[in-house]
Structure formats: C-alpha cells, structure tokens
Structure 1
Amino acid sequence: MSTVMPFGAGTTLLADVTAAVRTAGDTLRDRATSHARGVSLDEIVGEIHANDDAVLDVLREPLLRVRRGSRWAEDELAGGALPPGEWWVVDPAEGNINHVHGMADWAVTATLVRDNRPVLTVVNLPLTGDTYTAVADGGARCNGRPLKVSAKTDLGAALIGTGQAKPGESERTFRRIGDSVTAMLGNGLVVRVSVPATLQLIHVAAGRMDAFWQFSDVRSGLVSGALLVSEAGGTVTDLTGEPWNTGSRDFLAAAPGIHGAALKILSTTA
C-alpha cells in the first residue's frame, strides 16, 4: 500500500474525491423534492434506500479506483473499530430522513479512514454548492477557504448541539440524550437538537457553533466532522477525554476554550 498522510499526492487524491462526491451530490439533488415522500414506515424506508442506491451507483467505484487497496465499509449505520488499513466510510445521503421529508439539511460525505482515524474527507451540500474538505495535517476548508473553530472560552455563551444518531437506539441511550440536553440547557447559551451530525459539525469547524456531542458510535455520521473540526483547530475526544477514533463509544467535538467545561458537564450523564 502506498504511503499516506501527509502524502505528496494528497492534493491529487483530494481533487479526485471532491469531483466524485460532487457528482454524487448532483445525483442526490436531482432526487430532491419540496414535499415529503412516503407516509407509512415502509414507504419512508423505501425512499431512503432508493436515495442510497442511486448515489452509491455513481460514488463507490470512483472512490475505490482513486485509492488502490482501500476497502469499503458497507453498513453506514455501523459503529466500532474497523480492521487495520484504509477504508472508505461513506454516507451517500447524510440526513437522508430530511431529504425524503422535503427538508434542506442533507449532504453527501466520503471519508478515507486509516487504522480507525479519518485522514481525508469531503462533504458536499448540493443545495448550496458548498464543499467542505479536510486532510490530516493539512487543514480544513470550505470552498477552498480555511476554517477555524470558535474562540469562545465561556460555556455560558456557547451554541452547542447534539442529536439522535439512528432510529431504534437503546432506552439507555435515549435517557442519556435527554439527561445531557437538560444538563447543557442549564449551562450553555442555547442547545440545538437536530440531525444529521455532520451538518452540525461543519458549523463547529466553521466557528458558527461551539460544540457537538453524541452518545453513539455510528461512524459514518462522525468521521467527516471529526476531521474537519480537528483540522480547524478544535478538540475531538470521547466523553472520558481520550482522543476520539472510530472505536470510541461516544463523541465530543468543541472549540478548545470550552471543551473542558463541556466535558465536565457531559461526564455526569455518562
């Protein structure tokens, strides 16, 4: 396998991945409607799968081709550590539930993960035309402009967020979400609860939000944002304060000035 991050061909690989993700984004944009699609659960699930299949048809082969020897993480809702080596962790419709309900908060993401750490990512928002990119040790950007996390140092002034990673989480996870939101409502300025995770994490990377936490290890919703936030100068850990990787069971990404305070509050709900 070729040597990677930092890697001399990084700009070429990033350009190739960006082109593939933008093409996939065009496919997802063409499927968008201004109204909700599906009434029954079966109909909604069918629409979600149709979106995934349409995007993967144009995204999978180009990504595997531009990184020879890489493998594909099949289940976008899976969590936990991956085997050693390079893996593409892709969400063909991040925020798929929003897409099928006629809302605007969705994206296409592709992240190259090496030995359970993200090393290159592209997030395309087809409705706005914005593309967020990051390479390990190479910074984070939106449309080529550098990103920088918030300079806030007071949790009481912070806009912070969380969300549900997937349907059917355990009762314990739902209880932790509720308890943590309650705790943060009493300590932050405003708490935002929404999906998908990536759409909140790009705001953290850009300094528009100050922190995001999640009680889940669904890797496809976290790897892009984790790399974007860390490369924009943020701090990304689990809720014990250890550096986050795809094997971590929970997640916190924050501006450095409020990370410690947020971690202290969230650790009481763990």
Structure 2
Amino acid sequence: MEGCDSSARFSLYLDDLDTTVLQAEELLGFFDQDSVTGCVEFALQRATVVDIDAWRKVCRAKHGSPIGMAGVRFLDRDGLAIGTIDVFEFAVVEVDDSVAAMSGDRFDVRLTGIGSREWSSISAALWRERQVGGPTEMNTWVGLPRSGCREWLSVALAAGSRAQVDHQLTDRQAGVCYTLDAAHIDDEVSFFCALGEAINGPGGYFGAGLDGMADCLCGDFGATVPFSIRCDDWHGLVERLGKPFVDAVEEVFQHQGVKIVKELLSG
C-alpha cells in the first residue's frame, strides 16, 4: 500500500530516491491533450506529503530544475498502485502553499517533465474505471475507436500485471473450456480485447498480439494449458479478420495445447 491517505487516488514516486513522496486526490494535465510524449506540465491537487525528508530534498532544488525520473501512480480504493505514468526530467514548477506542504495539510503542486507515452481522455476514463474496481461488465471496449481499444489493452495489461504482483490473479487448473464471444470482434485489436475477457472476465488481459498471447499461454495470466476455447462464429472471424491472421492464432494455440471448438451460428 502506498500510504495511509484513504482519499488519495494518485501518488508521486521518485526513482532516484526510491520513495513515494506525495499522495494526491486529483491529477490534472495529462489527459487534456492527445499525447504527452514530449514536455508536459501537470498538477497534483489536494496532495499530502508521504516522505517528508524526500519532499525537503525536492523543495531544495531550484523550481523548474530537473530532479530526475518520477512515476505518477494510479491508486485503487485500497491504496495499491495499479498503473504508472513515467515522467523523465521531473521538476517542481510551483507549490501553492509550502507551509501546508510541510505541516501535513493538503496543498496543490504544479510539476513538469517529459512524458514517456501517449495518453488521452480515453486513457483517463479507463484508468478511473480501474481505480474504483471496474470494469464489472464484459465488452466495455465495444464502441471505442481502434486507438481506444489499444489503450484498453494497455490498461488491462498494467492492471493484470499489478494483480500478479499482489497475488490477486492465479492460474486456473488445466482442462477448462473458455467461451470466446465473437459478436463484437471486427479486427485484430478487438480480437485480443475479447480473448482477454474470455479467459479472465471483465477487463481481463491475455495478450495484445500474437507474441503477447504466446507469452500468456506460458502461465501467470489466468489459464493453464491444455485448455479449450469455444467460439460460435470462428468461421466468421476468418471472414472478418482474414485467414492469415486466424491461421497464425490457430498455430500458436495448437503449439501450446489449446483446442479450438468451432461452432456455427444457429439460424
């Protein structure tokens, strides 16, 4: 657990000091633009200090001067980190109340750095859903643009990896038959969204590509080979996704001992 502030939904981790220095209720700035792969200014609102010694070191640095690498972490309802935004050349721009910061009261702080990847309003919605324990229903990715589905997979991977570390995700026994809902699969990205949920339920992850799927079949991602996958429209997938891709999927499955039960849609 990151700390003791039950209302915190974000934390600031400093790699160079190997410590969580702040927790905060709100994060602004990252999701107001389509990409933060360059320099970005952001803010943590209603923050509290977790490590006072580390915070003093940060405050002694000249405002705007790079301090090092930081991670802005997303916290769930239990205060556990479920995802991270890496920020290079992190620096403090402004602290609205330095007295409050040192006394344990809440304060706002503006920061800057170089983001390591793309984020968007879709990213924000997906992460906020995870922070409150979601998704609780299947197919919440349906209707997202292709880029949104890719982000959905990225968030699912990060959340799944965190669940592994916290021992919340364990492999089920071999021999299970999983059902793949093909109704909303219309490209390779949506195939992996549906596959992840077929194996691990709402919001589940089981690869974002063929290589990732092969890695998941080796264990630690919810399923133990050999197992089977039942699909009521596998032949429709061939038509929509193309025979080369579906053949490649079948080859990986066959190599790892996964049987595909191909059924035809009735009616």
- Normalised TM-score (structure 1): 0.28
Q: Which has the higher helix share?
A: 1
Give the structure with higher Rg (CA).
2
Q: RCO greater where, 1 or 2, for CA within 8 Å and sep 6 or more?
A: 1
- Normalised TM-score (structure 2): 0.28
Q: Which has the higher strand share?
A: 2
